[in-house]
């Protein structure tokens, strides 16, 4: 089959790789009909190369049709139309019983000290082949799937894999009070969708911050108050305070993460570590302060005293400097973590109707054949040509 493979820093290619097969009774094979490039895939493309091997299959936002099943996959059957959550979870361990599916005790990657295994996301999360491919082996398939109805195009449901539940959890964790304000840092796919969800849930004062004109305009068109970071990098606090009764935001979502704009020292560490042999670079990434923390620092500055910060952007450093005195003094509540996808699906599915209140049908900015993935990764990483969300079609 054809699949998008990692080949080195800023280098992916579409290659012929072996077809997946049933290996365990809890496996299923899914023929992929749509698969997305996620913003966090760019961390692999740019930063987390030491945890990748040439030939690793990328992608963790796929959907398709079940083609083959093992003997222990519950009611999953051939022909079912399914979306795969980005994390692989069993559904019956203690953590899954708490709906903490990203901490599944059956699939935890213990040799890396990580939570549940993820599709297509490096040695840190199990090195499981991903879904930017024609076919996907789904481990723990009795639970690692979301059945969706026939009829509507894939756009209606494919974002259940990551974007919708990640943004939904970000808003839930932000705990915006009634009549309160929410600042969303970063208007990529997660930040954009978080704004839509917050407004749908009745948050009237939603403020989006970014520096890419197309992303700002996209959010503005849906009624978000937008702030151009390029024009207000020096006075962002004053601008936000002016929009929030002088106190700062009740809640802030950091939808940027480790590759934030404006963190030259961390970029230097990332660059140097990326030049080291993998065996040396891996512990550097795990133990050093390698994240670009500009967005997190901004969140801490912009949130009001007693407010809440919700982190949905990916961070990877173990020794990043945190302004603990400020966090403590401001009495900030901080919530974070990979989205527990199936925890939120029952609340999201009823919104995926023809009325389309969240705009999922038109959410993708680019729909391309799988063969164009290398160029798409490059443009997405460069924030060029209006790239916000890329959908790949194996059969185009």
pLDDT(283) > 80:
no
Report the DSSP beta bridge partners of residue 169: none
Q: What pLDDT, on a 0 to 100 scale, did the predictor assign at position 328?
A: 86
Residue spans of the domains in the chain: they are 2-162+340-393, 167-336
Compare 310 and 279 and report the one with higher pLDDT. 310
**Average pLDDT in the 135-150 region?**
98
Q: What pLDDT, on a 0 to 100 scale, did the predictor assign at position 305?
A: 97
What are φ and ψ of residue 73, in 5° steps? Answer: -115, 25
Architecture of domain 167-336: 3-Layer(aba) Sandwich (3.40)
Quick one: CA dihedral 76, 79, 83, 84, positive or negative? positive
Instruction: Tell me how far apart the alpha carbons of residues 127 and 38 are, in angstroms, rounded to a whole number.
Output: 17
Dump pLDDT digits (tens) for 19-73: 999 999 999 999 999 999 998 898 898 877 888 999 999 999 999 999 999 999 9
Dump pLDDT digits (tens) for 348-373: 999 999 999 999 999 999 999 999 99
- Copy the structure tokens of residue 376: 């798409």
How would residue 277 be classed by pLDDT, with cut points 50, 70 and 90? low
**Average pLDDT in the 286-294 region?**
60
Dump pLDDT digits (tens) for 229-251: 999 999 999 999 999 999 999 99
- Characterize the bridge pairing of strands 181-185 and 81-83: unpaired
How would residue 285 be classed by pLDDT, with cut points 50, 70 and 90? low
Architecture of domain 2-162+340-393: Alpha-Beta Complex (3.90)
Compare 391 and 385 and report the one with higher pLDDT. 391
pLDDT(265) > 60:
no
Burial (0-12, 13-18, 19+ Cβ within 10 Å), 389: buried
**Average pLDDT in the 271-281 region?**
51
What are φ and ψ of residue 346, in 5° steps? Answer: -60, -30
Residues present in the chain in total: 396
What are φ and ψ of residue 133, in 5° steps? Answer: -160, 175
Q: Is 207 left (phi over 0), alpha (psi -120 to 50) or beta?
A: beta
Mean pLDDT of the chain, nearest integer: 91
């Amino acid at each position: 089959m054809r699949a998008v493979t990692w080949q080195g820093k800023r280098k992916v290619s579409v290659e012929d790789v072996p077809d997946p097969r049933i290996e365990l009774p809890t496996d299923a094979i899914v023929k992929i009909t749509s698969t997305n490039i996620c913003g966090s895939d760019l961390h692999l493309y740019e930063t987390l190369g030491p945890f990748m091997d040439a030939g690793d299959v990328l992608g963790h936002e796929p959907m398709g049709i079940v083609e083959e099943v093992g003997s222990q996959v519950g009611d999953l059957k051939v022909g079912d139309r399914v979306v795969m959550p980005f994390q692989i979870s069993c559904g019956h361990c203690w953590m899954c019983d708490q709906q903490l599916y990203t901490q599944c005790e059956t699939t935890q990657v213990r040799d890396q000290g990580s939570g549940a295994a993820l599709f297509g996301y490096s040695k840190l999360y199990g090195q499981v082949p991903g879904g930017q491919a024609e076919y996907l082996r789904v481990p723990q398939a009795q639970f690692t799937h979301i059945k969706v109805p026939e009829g509507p195009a894939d756009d209606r449901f494919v974002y259940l894999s990551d974007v919708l539940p990640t943004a939904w959890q970000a808003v839930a964790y932000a705990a915006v009070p009634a009549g309160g304000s929410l600042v969303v840092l970063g208007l990529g796919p997660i930040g954009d969708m978080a704004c839509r969800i917050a407004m749908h849930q009745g948050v009237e004062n939603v403020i989006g911050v970014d520096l890419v004109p197309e992303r700002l305009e996209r959010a503005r068109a849906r009624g978000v108050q937008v702030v151009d970071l390029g024009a207000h990098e020096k006075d962002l606090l004053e601008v936000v305070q002016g929009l929030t009764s002088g106190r700062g935001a009740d809640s802030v979502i950091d939808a940027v993460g480790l590759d934030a704009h404006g963190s030259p020292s961390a970029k230097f560490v990332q660059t140097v570590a990326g030049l080291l042999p993998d065996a040396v670079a891996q512990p550097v990434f795990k133990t050093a302060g390698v994240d670009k923390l500009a967005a997190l620092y901004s969140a801490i500055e912009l949130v009001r005293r007693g407010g809440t910060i919700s982190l949905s952007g990916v961070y990877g450093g173990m020794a990043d400097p945190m302004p603990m005195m400020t966090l403590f003094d401001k009495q900030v509540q901080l919530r974070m973590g990979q989205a527990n996808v199936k925890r939120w699906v029952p609340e999201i599915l009823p919104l995926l109707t023809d009325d389309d209140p969240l705009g999922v049908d038109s959410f993708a900015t680019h729909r391309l054949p799988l063969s164009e993935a290398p160029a798409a990764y490059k443009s997405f990483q460069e924030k060029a040509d209006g790239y916000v969300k890329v959908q790949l079609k194996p059969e185009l």
